[in-house]
Amino acid sequence: VILTEKGAESTPEALQAAQRELASPVGGEEVLWCGRGATALYWAYRVVRAEGDVGDSPEIILPAIACASPVNTAIMAGLTPRFADIDPATGMLTLQTVRARRTPQTRAVLFIHLFGQTADLSELRQWCRRHKITLVEDLAQALGARLPCGDPAGSMGEMSIYSFTGTKILQCGGGALLVRDGRLTEVLKSLLADYRPPPPAPAERRMQLFDTYRNLHRSLVGLKRLLAVADISAAFLPLRPAYDCLYILPLNNADALAEAWRGLPSILQQRLVKAELYEELLARKPFWALLSGWRTSGVCWRYSLLFGVPDQLVPFSEAVRRDGFHVSNLYWELSSFYRPDDACPEAEKFSRSIVNLWVDDMVDLETVRRCCESMIRHGASFYEQASATGPHP
Ligand X SMILES: Cc1ncc(COP(=O)(O)O)c(C=O)c1O
- Write out the residues near ligand X by the rule CB under 6 A: 36-38, 41, 66-67, 69-70, 112, 138, 140-141, 163, 165, 175
Cα angle 347-353-354, degrees, rounded to a multiple of 5: 85
**What strand order describes the sheet that includes 134-138?**
8-9, 2-3, 30-34, 175-179, 159-163, 134-138, 106-112, 59-63, 80-84
CB of 92 to ligand X, least distance (A): 11
To the nearest whole angstrom, how small is the minimum distance from the Cβ of residue 290 to ligand X? 21
The closest alpha carbon to 51, from 194, 186, 156, belongs to: 186
Order across the sheet with 288-290: list the strands: 288-290, 302-307, 354-358, 327-328
- Cβ–Cβ < 8 Å for 142, 297: yes
- Nearer to ligand X by C-beta: 38 or 357? 38
Query: Closest-CB residue for ligand X?
Result: 37
For residue 38, the minimal CB distance to ligand X (Å) is 3
Residue 369 CA to its chain's centroid (Å): 27
Minimum distance, C-beta of residue 197 to ligand X, in the bound complex (Å): 17
Task: Determine contact, residues 251/4, Cβ cutoff 8 Å.
Answer: yes
Q: How far is the CB of 387 from ligand X (least distance, A)?
A: 35
Name the residue nearer to ligand X (CB basis): 67 or 192: 67
Give the three-state DSSP class for 172: coil
Helix extents (H) in the chain: 16-23, 37-50, 69-76, 95-99, 122-130, 182-193, 203-226, 233-239, 254-262, 264-282, 293-297, 313-322, 335-338, 345-351, 365-389
The number of residues making up the chain comes to 393
Residue 67 or 191 with smaller CB distance to ligand X: 67
Distance in Å, CB of 373 to ligand X, minimum: 29
Beta strand pairing call for 354-358 and 302-307: antiparallel
Output 112 or 309, the one with its CB closest to ligand X.
112
Nearer to ligand X (CB atom), residue 94 or residue 160: 160
- As measured in angstroms, the least distance from the Cβ of 202 to ligand X is 18
Q: Which is nearer to ligand X, 355 or 386 (CB)?
A: 355
Residue whose CB is less far from ligand X, 94 or 141: 141
